[in-house]
Amino acid sequence: MPTQKKITFNFWRIEMPASEPRTFESLIKQASEIDDLENRIRDLSNYPVRMEKSEESNNVWIGEMLKLRMDELPVKAGRSTPIEDLGLEADEGVAEPNGFLYDPKTKVLITHGEHYGVSAGKIAEYFGEIGLVRGEIKFEPVPTEEGWTKFASMKKLKALTLKIGSSINPALLPREGRGVRRFVEQMSNYNGLQMEITISVGRSQRHTLDKDTIQLDIADLLACHDATEGAVEKLEGTGVDDSGLTKPFDFLVGRMRHTALVKLGSARRLTYDNRRTHLSDAFRKNIEEIDRLYPTKK
């Protein structure tokens, strides 16, 4: 009986720097035109990363990303045989590919998380490196019409609570500029396994938390949440909307996601064809809502 695997697809909106005339699609094309695989590699957070495959179909781009693990390698073992080395050459490692779909019309990127895969943030960083883009390519979760939209409508942000576990992968977080990495490092310094913090404006009626910074940090934390079970267990807060009402919001609930149950077959892993089929299906089933969220000018 074929093994089945539940996979989750996450939806992100890509925004190029204001000073950058090129599109995200043009960067994907640029990477696809690099024939030599080694020349396609960019080192991100000490890992070699590259776009392994790509194709343009029905006005969207579908591709596969690869992050090479060159050390701390697994071993080969059998039910009745002892462990043995994989027998790899010095310039070889192991990898866990993960796929992406990009729709240039709505600027929506669909990814699926794997523990050792390339996160949405690293995908954006990779193509920025490919195109030598000046500035940060931003990515933020696509809201459901009843979810993240609530956060976007907040006039003032009063409190934010996050709960993270020791399984969080710091490599998915920015090295500079924002504070989430420092929280993770402090938990490690204390030899802690879990940390929950609340940041608020106290009793102030006029003050608000910085919305732009929170959006950037939340996007990074959601990438960590998708990559590793138990990495991020809570991302919620409260705010005041235009009518003056205080309302709660939950980042883990109010975002667009799609799940699928996939048969692994004889390969015992997700193949490129598996991912391409289910990425296309995830896009097809959500495109109407995406179009309503991001209407294009006619």
- 204/57 same-domain check: no
Query: How many structural domains compose the chain?
Result: 2
- Whole-number pLDDT of residue 147: 59
pLDDT over threshold 70, residue 114: no
Mean pLDDT of the chain: 87
At 297 the pLDDT is 67
- pLDDT of 38 higher than 90: yes
Tokens of 190: 């204390």
In a domain, 298, yes or no: no
Q: How far apart are CA 281 and CA 297, in angstroms?
A: 25
* Average pLDDT for 124-139: 94
Q: Are residues 138 and 154 in the same domain?
A: no
What mean pLDDT is predicted for residues 110-138? 89
- Mean pLDDT confidence for 262-286: 88
- Asked if 158 contacts 208 with a C-beta cutoff of 8 angstroms, the reply is yes
Q: Are residues 222 and 183 in the same domain?
A: yes
Same domain, 238 and 272: no
Confidence of residue 298 (pLDDT cuts 50, 70, 90): low
Residue 100 belongs to a domain: yes
Q: Are residues 155 and 101 in the same domain?
A: no
- Does one domain contain both 125 and 10? yes
Which pLDDT does position 50 carry in this prediction? 96
Give me the mean pLDDT over the 184-202 stretch.
91
| Mean pLDDT in residue range 149-157 | 83
- Same domain? 136 vs 162: no
pLDDT value at 242 more than 80 = yes
DSSP 173: S
Burial class (CB in 10 A: 0-12, 13-18, 19+), 240: middle
Residue 123 domain-assigned (yes or no): yes
Model's pTM, two decimal places? 0.73
**Residue 280 within any structural domain of the chain:** yes
Tens-place pLDDT, residues 170-183: 777 765 546 788 88
Residue 134 sits in the same domain as residue 281: yes
What are the residues whose beta carbons fall under 8 Å from the beta carbon of 150, sequence distance 6 or more?
143, 247, 249, 254
Task: Judge if 131 and 199 occupy the same domain.
Answer: no
Q: Which neighbouring-strand residues pair with 99?
A: 64
Match 């009626």 to its residue by tokens: 205
Q: How many residues does the chain have?
A: 298
DSSP letter for each residue of 217-263 = HHHHHHHHHHHSTTSEEEEEEEEE-TTS-EEEEETTTSB-EEEEEEE
Residue 82, domain member (yes or no): yes
pLDDT at 201 over 90: yes
Number of alpha carbons in the 13 Å side-chain half-sphere of residue 38: 2
Domain shared by 173 and 265, yes or no: no
> In terms of domains, do 59 and 160 share one?
no
Is 285 contained in some domain?
Answer: yes
Q: Are residues 168 and 288 in the same domain?
A: no
Could you list the residue range(s) of the whole structural domain that residue 52 is in? Answer: 4-142+256-293
In this structure, the dihedral spanned by the alpha carbons of residues 169, 170, 171 and 172, taken in order and rounded to 10 degrees, is 70
